[in-house]
Structure 1
Amino acid sequence: MSDPAVWSFEAIGTRWEIETGRPLPADAREAVTAAIADFDRTWSRFRDDSLVARLAASGGAEPLPADAAAMLDAYVELSRATAGAVNPLVGDALARRGYDAGLSLRDRGAEPAPPDWPDLLSWSGGVLALARSATIDVGALGKGRLVDLVADALEPWAPGDLVVDASGDLRVRGAAVRVGLEHPYDARRAIGVVELRDAALCASATNRRAWGDGLHHVLDARTGEPVRAIAATWAIAPDAMRADAITTALFFDGGPALAAAWGVEWVRMTTDGRVEWSPACPAELFVAGDAGTTKGSQA
């Protein structure tokens, strides 16, 4: 993208950068701000006035949000592929480990998420309902979904070149962009690079949103314990929601199979330094010595 205009701002607790071929007018920025505010007002478990907070208090029913079906339908596939390790009712389990609304970072022990979540949570007939109190957490794919919403909101003003980057979860339209895959143990280095054109790249790593003694934001919903075998994941898809979902699935055994079913390419790094990738992954991965990685393998 030649001579891009860059708009940087903070929202939903993360840094955003939007690059366009020319500066965005005020109404474009207002559309983005409104899309983010609406999503946060619906899905945030860190504010007491959200839809999620209302349902967490006692269960019940709410009008079905526009994003609910797309996200929760994807959760059904995520849960099935990972044998229940990914679960949209993991919010209370995260809160018990210290990743609560007040970010207390105080660990109160492991608690599994409800394994029968499809019986408790429903989204049909224009209604989102919970049979009892529980906390929805869409973190497995929510930021990717919001990146897509922001990109869509900008279509009238940026139909050509566009990069929406929400701190590493990004969607590119138009001109190709070269992106580094940050080493999870050294932010100054990369384990590879990938060129994106009309695609999304999302990443997840256990060194981000980490606290205490080995605690971080990626829990196995079946146990309430943080994952230990995988350090970082990256996924490339046509849309950011599916890329984000696969970065979560890749922390578990069923992730590669779901990625293949969805046509998503990926890379992941284990905690002992091995790098794995999908057969058609377009990323250029560095060999040992170039980026501090060890041996690689194709999955």
Structure 2
Amino acid sequence: MPHPGWQDFRFDGIGTGWEISTPAPLPPALRSAVLAEVERYDSTWSRFRHDSLVTRMSVRPGQYEMPPEAAGLAALYRQLYTLSGGAMTPLIGESLERLGYDPHYSLQPRGGAAPPPAWDAVLEWQGTSLRTTAPVVLDVGAAGKGQLVDLVAELLRSHGVTDFFIDASGDLLNGRGETGGLEPVQVALEHPYDPTKATGTVALGAGALCASASNRRAWGDGLHHVLDGTTGAPVRTVVATWARADTAMEADALATALFLVPAEDLARHFRFSWLKVFSNGSAEYSAEFEGALFT
């Protein structure tokens, strides 16, 4: 629990565990509203549900009108797609499914790694308007969970809850109330090779901290969920990243982007701090990432 005496609201959503900590218990109506928002988001963006809008796109090309949050996703993904030379793409779902990370969680590859189609070849996405010219497997997982954390935070604030801490299975958002009086929360950074250990700690003040690691959602012989969109193959040189930003959506997306783009290139376009651990055991971090790494 981030703050002694706070109350926790725990639930499962978008395939993972959530915990919302607040000074007082959330009223039943607000709890129901949070669960409804999580379900609404999942029913649109999940490629693991047969009834989602994204699943319909994987079967039938056409014009789709998306919910309001699509505009933010489109802008962020397009920027990172450009900065990464196509390595970070919302079309990576096709490559993930080819390697076995499919809606049935078969974890059985259907062939070797292959890149997804180029954005402009099959996708026109402006704001909430999305048009596909072929069936596409959209996967916004690199930013979607973070965006949902932000949407839940907006919902809490709209109901007068201004002090809160959201933990969406490692995507963290420390909300700060009108007085700005919340103390930083000490967060352990999971060791990339041993989830029972920490590789360091960081104090999270107001804002978000998100992580990405190759040991999460890993299967088979060296297969994991962070793929290079230019090849469709898992990234081998980086094993774990952390990003701190004002919003969870940006922190979430940048944690993945750090696998694919030099941090200094990202820093020219985004206001964030970061830590990156490489497969050879070395680490790099920004001067603003104030924490402690263990030897």
| TM-score relative to the length of structure 2 | 0.93
User: Contact 2:5 / 2:23 at 8 angstroms: preserved in 1?
Assistant: yes
Distance (Å, rounded) in 2 between the aligned partners of 1:190 and 1:32: 31
Distance (Å, rounded) in 2 between the aligned partners of 1:182 and 1:54: 36
Pick from 198, 210, 217 the counterpart of residue 202 of structure 1: 210
Residue 112 of structure 1 aligns with an amino acid whose one-letter code is P
Per the alignment, in what secondary structure is the counterpart of residue 137 of structure 2? coil
* Partner residue, 2:168: 166
Per the alignment, in what secondary structure is the counterpart of residue 59 of structure 2? helix
Q: Deviations over 1:129-184 (max 9, x none)?
A: 11111111001111111111111111144533211101100100122211111111
Pick from 252, 255, 258 the counterpart of residue 260 of structure 2: 252
Q: Structure 2 matches for 1:223-234, cutoff 5 A? A: 223-234=231-242
Distance (Å, rounded) in 2 between the aligned partners of 1:252 and 1:123: 22
How many pairs align?
A: 286
* Partner residue, 1:38: 40
* Partner residue, 1:297: none
* Partner residue, 2:179: none
Q: Deviations over 1:85-120 (max 9, x none)?
A: 1011111110000000111101122111112x1342
Distance (Å, rounded) in 2 between the aligned partners of 1:44 and 1:215: 21
Distance (Å, rounded) in 1 between the aligned partners of 2:249 and 2:10: 21
* Partner residue, 1:178: 186
Q: Deviations over 1:38-80 (max 9, x none)?
A: 1101100001111111111121111122111101110111111
Residue 264 of structure 1 aligns with an amino acid whose one-letter code is F
Pick from 10, 27, 30 the counterpart of residue 28 of structure 1: 30
Pick from 59, 67, 81 the counterpart of residue 61 of structure 2: 59
* Partner residue, 1:154: 156
Distance (Å, rounded) in 1 between the aligned partners of 2:41 and 2:113: 29
Residue 81 of structure 2 aligns with an amino acid whose one-letter code is S
Q: Provide structure 2 residue ranges, at least 5 long, that are not aligned to the other structure.
A: 177-181
Residue 258 of structure 1 aligns with an amino acid whose one-letter code is L
* Partner residue, 1:85: 87
Per the alignment, in what secondary structure is the counterpart of residue 155 of structure 1? helix
Distance (Å, rounded) in 1 between the aligned partners of 2:42 and 2:128: 20
Displacement of 1:194 in angstroms is 1.3
- Report the aligned-residue RMSD: 1.4
Q: Structure 1 pair 2/285, CA: closer, same or farther in 2 (3 Å)?
A: same
Residue 151 of structure 2 aligns with an amino acid whose one-letter code is L
Q: Does residue 76 of structure 1 match 2:84? A: no
Q: Structure 1 pair 149/214, CA: closer, same or farther in 2 (3 Å)?
A: same
User: Contact 1:65 / 1:128 at 8 angstroms: preserved in 2?
Assistant: no
Displacement of 1:213 in angstroms is 0.4
* Partner residue, 1:285: 293
Residue 214 of structure 1 aligns with an amino acid whose one-letter code is G
* Partner residue, 1:113: 116
Per the alignment, in what secondary structure is the counterpart of residue 239 of structure 2? strand
Per the alignment, in what secondary structure is the counterpart of residue 258 of structure 1? helix
* Partner residue, 1:268: 276
Residue 238 of structure 2 aligns with an amino acid whose one-letter code is I
* Partner residue, 1:144: 146
Distance (Å, rounded) in 1 between the aligned partners of 2:188 and 2:127: 43
User: Contact 2:70 / 2:127 at 8 angstroms: preserved in 1?
Assistant: no
User: Contact 2:74 / 2:126 at 8 angstroms: preserved in 1?
Assistant: no
Displacement of 1:126 in angstroms is 4.9
Q: Deviations over 1:205-235 (max 9, x none)?
A: 0000000000010111111111100000000
Displacement of 1:125 in angstroms is 7.3
User: Contact 2:8 / 2:21 at 8 angstroms: preserved in 1?
Assistant: yes
Q: Deviations over 1:218-272 (max 9, x none)?
A: 1111111111000000000000000001101110233442144211100011111
Displacement of 1:21 in angstroms is 0.5
Per the alignment, in what secondary structure is the counterpart of residue 58 of structure 1? coil
Distance (Å, rounded) in 2 between the aligned partners of 1:31 and 1:92: 33
Distance (Å, rounded) in 2 between the aligned partners of 1:126 and 1:99: 27
Per the alignment, in what secondary structure is the counterpart of residue 262 of structure 1? coil
| TM-score relative to the length of structure 1 | 0.92
Q: Deviations over 1:185-208 (max 9, x none)?
A: 112322221111210000010000
Q: Does residue 222 of structure 1 match 2:221? A: no
Displacement of 1:2 in angstroms is 3.6
Percent of pairs with identical residues: 47
User: Contact 1:20 / 1:158 at 8 angstroms: preserved in 2?
Assistant: no
